[in-house]
Structure 1
Amino acid sequence: MIADEILDRARETVARNLARTPLLPYHAAGLEVPVYLKYEGAQPTGSFKVRGGVAALTAYAAEGVPVVTASAGNHALGIAHASRLLGAKSTVVVPEGGSPAKIAALRTYPVELVLAPGGYDGAEAKALELAAGGRKFVSAYNDPHVIGGQSTLVGEVAETLGEDFTIVVPTGAGGLLAGTALGARRARPDVRVLGVESAACHAVSAAVAAGHVVTVPVGDTIADGLVGNLEPESITPAIVREAGVRLVDVDEAAIRRSVRELALTAGLVAEGSSAAALAALRAGLVPADRPVVLVVSGRNIAAGLLATILTEG
């Protein structure tokens, strides 16, 4: 579905522009097999999304195409950081009512920042309007170069461990999961990939089961990176289905407990989405027949929310 050439170029680009993130032994897991935390909070933007941003901007800059995206979260910061790193032109459209902290952070980057009314839908509509004028719209997940960038994470793990393992991946729209599935088949003979959704949203698993994208209900959760419906022509479910990836889900209480555990036991700041892999392990959803790698996908959690969670229980 995504050419090997794109995956190869992404690997070279990410290795050239981003330092490897740490793979930390997690002895507190209490399993007989080794457990590791792949900490993407160490990325310069605090999230794995910068991998896809760097890969996509490098590819489209080589084609001489300026890019535009819609996001007020980790994807926007990834595109913005890549723009500064590569000297590439990009436009980031964010909702007028978006996070003041994230908008302030985006203003520090050399991007054209556009504020659009109407929430995320309004921002996306504005970005697509700009794309119609000659720019390339770069989806946070439904873009082959973005997915190629995310595929580099599992390759780093494989090169460090040198043996087969199970990798547990937080799953929202499936960009990281699809990338991991594609990267896993190239990294080791037998890497098992497990996707973890929030119980608040089953967009990817529903699409995999149906064989096409379907609209699903979206509940409230602190794991905001794991909720939202998919673009109608999203390529991620087909990649996940073809790779035979198993999907599980975890509830809100489990996610909050895992944010707290990562902070107090591992000393890692993790946003709600990032804690889903550990939540799945604690729920007994991860086979323990080989080394396990839990992807901690980012650290961008509001200070007040983190303080509240730390005092729970």
Structure 2
Amino acid sequence: MAWDPIEETELTPGYPVLKHMRQAWNSLKFLYGQIGTLAASGIPNGSFEVDSDGNGQPDNWTLNTYPGGSGSLVTDVPAHGATALKIVHPGGVGNGGGYYESDYCACSQVQKSVLSFIHWATAAGMHNMVQVRFFSKAKVFISTSVLYESSANPTTPTCFVTSFTPPANARYYKLDLVGGHSDTNVAGTAYFDGVGLAGIEALAARSTPITIASASIGGNAWADVGSANIQVPFCSIPVVLSLTASLSGSGTEFEDFQTAYQRFRVGTSYSNEVASPYPVLSNFLLPLQVGTQGLQTITVFMQLKAKNAGTAVGSVSDAAACCRINI
């Protein structure tokens, strides 16, 4: 459908208006499609919900196929909203699936963007990609940046988070969702959904309450006294875990010689430290070492130590672990 307004000169008193009613209806459908694609995420129709002309293809996206390839909207296996995008590689040397390219999206070289998307494939060995192409104010191509590329793709819906900074003079970009590149002879179907500039929200959605039971320790050496697991998606940019925990020492506000110490770790990455001789509730920020692909289960350890002959007591009670992107 296209915007085709009715001009006043087209209306003649006393003549049927059926043609103009159809024209108005088509224009309304066009406007509905445009409104449906205006997402706060900045990626037009990134959940592929709008197909205003009913042709099985998402508005604001253009399908480009490799030999033998095809692509369309699907409603039987969506991961975000009611519709997802699929690209089919039929198999065979030289054949492939294809790629969907977005409409132009505005950007600036002084503004970093965080992109999240959901991706999976029926055959993990397909060569799938997400890339961004940058253009000047006049929409002249500048360069390409690959945000995701794998031949070991997840076979269940998986959230990915990445980022990009436009190069000098870039004012627009297009996203390419590549499923089944023709350079790899692996038949299968690649799926994409929930594409948007919403990385922070994507991580927060994975945040869950965690509990670490109360534990105590004496001695002045750091020791693990409890742990909890949290799941976060693949993320190719730095993130930090924020959580709140309680701490108390065996001293008093006036006896700091029995101060208790508390911190958290994931692997060899450590949070900030808190020290107090009396009960205190503190916030901790912990850099995450996220894996290379898929939904990661990360173990967070609570560590305690005590000064002199004191005792340190710490716990995490139903704290909402919140992941933040460290841009």
Same fold at TM > 0.5: no
Classify the TM-score, shorter chain: under 0.3
Q: Which has a greater percent of helix? A: 1
Give the structure-1-normalised TM-score: 0.27
Whose relative contact order is higher, 1 or 2, with alpha carbons under 8 Å and at least 6 apart?
Answer: 1
Give the structure-2-normalised TM-score: 0.26
